[in-house]
């Protein structure tokens, strides 16, 4: 029965007229609210983590959140193609989305095996579902913030909200995550400390910075072995920065036929990407490379460079363009230095 349901009754979206706690996140929010009340009675400092799964697939949330948006107004991605000069390694065929029963009958793939082609009405339905799921999660966070307020804890509680990754909604003809592009690697990070004035910043940061930031805000000594840095200086002055770039990585695997078709001996690759305030630079390394192995330029099979001031949709890979030679050289040196630092730690 489970196999039958997984194959034929596994929709990517659902719009049921039910209360919030009919789904897991709504139920978890109410349970977390009760735990907060117990912690408040304890009179001791506490660390409490609450996880929500939405807006992850499937986009199944109560109808009232779908009703917040109009399907015909959903913003379809303006660029749904492979970037000019972009390496095939950078893309995938959205296998995660393809696992839902309503997708295979309407999906198609290009000859280059880049992304997944979906009808416009399905794109808008998925984006509608993503928006609804985001609002649903926002409401659950609101329940917890209201609980902190009613318990008198807001004045001395640090609150951090973040998502583990971004999400492709048709850009580059991609869906889901699993890339080093902006939509997959740019994720929410909100840090609230009652004694620091709210602000916004474009300073590069990484999730490895969260732990040292918590230590700093809580007045605790920072362990010496941490990779991340405290973001408190940025919180106090949004114009400053504690690092020049943020790092992401994602692997890519090819089957035997595609590996032979592309002329490689090993189908296992790793893409390392650094994001500055203006650029993203990515290199793809062959032979199952990982940062605990020595780096060699001979391992690099492709590189990417995107200029977000001129090309926010990542339509052109300018890594080999003459006018970007100095930028590519600088970011390549930074990448090599980063990989060397990881090898030293290992």
* Cβ neighbourhood burial of 142 (10 Å; 0-12, 13-18, 19+): exposed
Domain range summary for the chain, segments of one domain joined by +: 2-43+50-194, 246-345
What is the CATH code for 246-345?
3.30.1120
Instruction: Tell me the two tokens of residue 290.
Output: 């990982």
Query: How far apart (Å, rounded) are the C-alpha atoms in residues 130 and 138?
Result: 12
Three-state SS at 176 = strand
Which of 173, 187, 169, 181 is CA-nearest to residue 74?
A: 169
DSSP string of 200-215, one letter each residue: -------GGGHHHHHH
Per-residue pLDDT of the chain (346 residues; tens, 9 = 90+): 888 877 778 999 999 999 999 999 999 999 999 999 999 999 899 999 999 999 999 999 999 999 999 999 999 999 999 999 999 899 998 889 998 999 988 988 765 567 889 999 999 999 999 999 999 999 999 999 999 999 999 999 999 999 999 999 999 999 999 999 999 999 999 999 999 999 999 999 999 999 999 999 999 999 888 989 999 999 999 999 999 999 999 999 887 777 777 777 788 999 999 999 999 999 999 999 999 999 999 999 999 999 999 999 999 999 999 999 999 999 999 999 999 999 887 7
* Chosen CATH of 2-43+50-194 out of 3.40.50.980, 3.30.300.30, 3.40.720.10, 3.40.50.620: 3.40.720.10
Q: Taking the model in full, what pTM does it have?
A: 0.93
């Amino acid at each position: 029965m489970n196999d039958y349901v997984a194959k034929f009754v596994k929709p990517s979206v659902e719009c049921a007229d039910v209360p919030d706690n009919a789904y897991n996140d709504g139920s978890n929010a109410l349970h977390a609210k009760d735990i907060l009340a117990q912690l408040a009675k304890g009179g001791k400092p506490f660390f409490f983590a609450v996880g929500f799964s939405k807006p992850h697939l499937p986009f199944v949330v109560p109808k009232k959140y779908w009703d917040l948006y109009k399907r015909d107004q959903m913003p379809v991605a303006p660029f749904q193609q492979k970037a000019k000069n972009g390496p095939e390694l950078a893309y995938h065929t959205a296998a995660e989305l393809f696992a839902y029963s309503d997708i295979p009958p309407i999906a198609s793939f290009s000859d280059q095996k880049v992304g997944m082609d979906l009808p416009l009405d399905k794109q808008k339905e998925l984006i509608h579902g993503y928006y609804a799921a985001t609002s649903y999660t926002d409401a659950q966070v609101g329940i917890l913030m209201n609980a902190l307020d009613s318990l008198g804890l807001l004045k001395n509680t640090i609150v951090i909200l973040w998502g583990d990754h971004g999400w492709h909604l048709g850009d580059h003809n991609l869906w889901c995550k699993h890339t080093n592009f902006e939509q997959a690697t740019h994720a929410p990070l909100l840090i609230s400390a009652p004694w620091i004035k709210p602000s916004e910043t474009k300073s590069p940061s990484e999730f490895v910075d969260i732990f040292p930031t918590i230590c700093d805000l809580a007045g605790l000594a920072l362990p010496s072995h941490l990779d991340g840095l405290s973001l408190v200086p940025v919180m106090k002055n949004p114009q400053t920065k504690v690092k020049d770039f943020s790092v992401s990585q994602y692997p890519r695997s090819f089957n035997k036929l595609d590996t032979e078709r592309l002329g490689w001996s090993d189908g296992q690759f790793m893409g390392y990407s650094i994001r500055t305030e203006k650029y993203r630079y990515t290199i793809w390394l062959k032979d199952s490379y990982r940062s605990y192995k020595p780096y060699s330029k001979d391992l690099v099979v492709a590189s990417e460079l995107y200029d977000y001031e001129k090309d926010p949709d990542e339509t052109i890979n300018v890594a080999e363009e003459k006018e970007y030679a100095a930028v590519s050289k600088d970011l390549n040196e930074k990448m090599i230095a980063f990989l060397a630092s990881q090898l030293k730690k290992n």
